[in-house]
Amino acid sequence: MKKPQIITIVVAAVAVVLLLAFGRTTPRPGAKQASGEAVQEQAAGDHDHANEAGSFSIDTILALSKKELPADQVLRLDLLEQSITRGDVKKQQLDVYHQLAHFWRDTAKAFIPYAWYTAESARLENSEKSLNFAAQIFLNQLPQVENEQTRHWMAEQAKDLFEKTLSVNPANDSAQVGLGATFLYGGLGTPMEGIGKIRAVVEKDSTNVYAQMTLATASLMSGQKQKAQERLETVLRLQPQNIQATLMLGDLYEKDGNKDQAVQWYSKALKLVQRADIKAELEKRIDALKK
């Protein structure tokens, strides 16, 4: 593994705690019915759901994910799915969607079905908190998704949920930044369209750490290292113990060949990180840079 890749993994592990628990966005590779690659190919060829984006089919993903489950779990899932159509009361439907989301998260550990039912429950509930939460679930996973059609579908889901959040509360800066980040990571519109949405928040509130961090990442994506460094330093003035900003500065200095500064920032991060595996990777990097 290349050195920058190690730090990228470390940053991702710190920044996306909830989503890393799944470790996949499609059914497990090597399953009897289909590999993860085959799942995406089948989903790409299926056009049977009104909520799909491009050629991605959520119905295909749900069906193939279900085929991997043992018989007792399939039975439990069937009962839950059937109760959706029977329930004509909003609260009953919400309860079922929550149960389905929890099933796919806790039992099956499949990301897309979990995110889908979380989104469906949020749309039904239509509260600012639930919509923003569901949108962030999709957004946080976007940078890790390689399949273009899957990423596009997830970005469309996040966009819809963020826009619904803003329709409930136009002053929700987190949703505004999230919407801009969705444009950046999901390939929606143009990068400047996404950056413009985030900059609007920073112009209103320069202390918004989420917006500053997102702009720092956008600067790195476009090769503007100096601008990224300035953004990260701003974040650390506001939050001196921000682990992600600290790691990103260390990575930035390492890539520029400034080993002393890289060691300094990685050493600061080492004091902040709690996870043993991340600490071990940082210690290896620090030792390698000191040689």
Interval 52-106: pLDDT, tens? 444 789 999 999 999 999 999 999 998 888 887 665 678 888 999 999 999 999 9
Average pLDDT, the chain: 84
Say what the pLDDT of residue 1 is: 40
Among residues 291, 220, 212, which one has the least CA distance to residue 8? 220
**Encoding tokens for residue 44?**
């790409």
Full-model pTM: 0.79
Q: How far apart are CA 255 and CA 247, in angstroms?
A: 12
Q: What percent of the chain has pLDDT over 90?
A: 70
Q: Which pLDDT score, from 0 to 100, does residue 34 have?
A: 36
pLDDT, tens only, 140-162 = 999 889 999 999 999 999 999 99
Task: Give the whole-angstrom CA distance, residue 181 versus residue 178.
Answer: 5
Q: Helices in 35-190 by DSSP H: which ranges?
A: 36-44, 58-67, 71-86, 90-102, 111-125, 128-141, 148-168, 173-186
208-244 pLDDT, tens digit per residue, is 999 999 999 999 989 999 999 999 999 999 999 999 9
What pLDDT, on a 0 to 100 scale, did the predictor assign at position 85? 65
The predicted-structure confidence for 174-208, as pLDDT tens digits, reads as follows 999 999 999 999 989 888 999 999 999 999 999 99
Q: Tokens 């439990």 label which residue?
A: 76
**What is the identity of the amino acid at 284?**
K
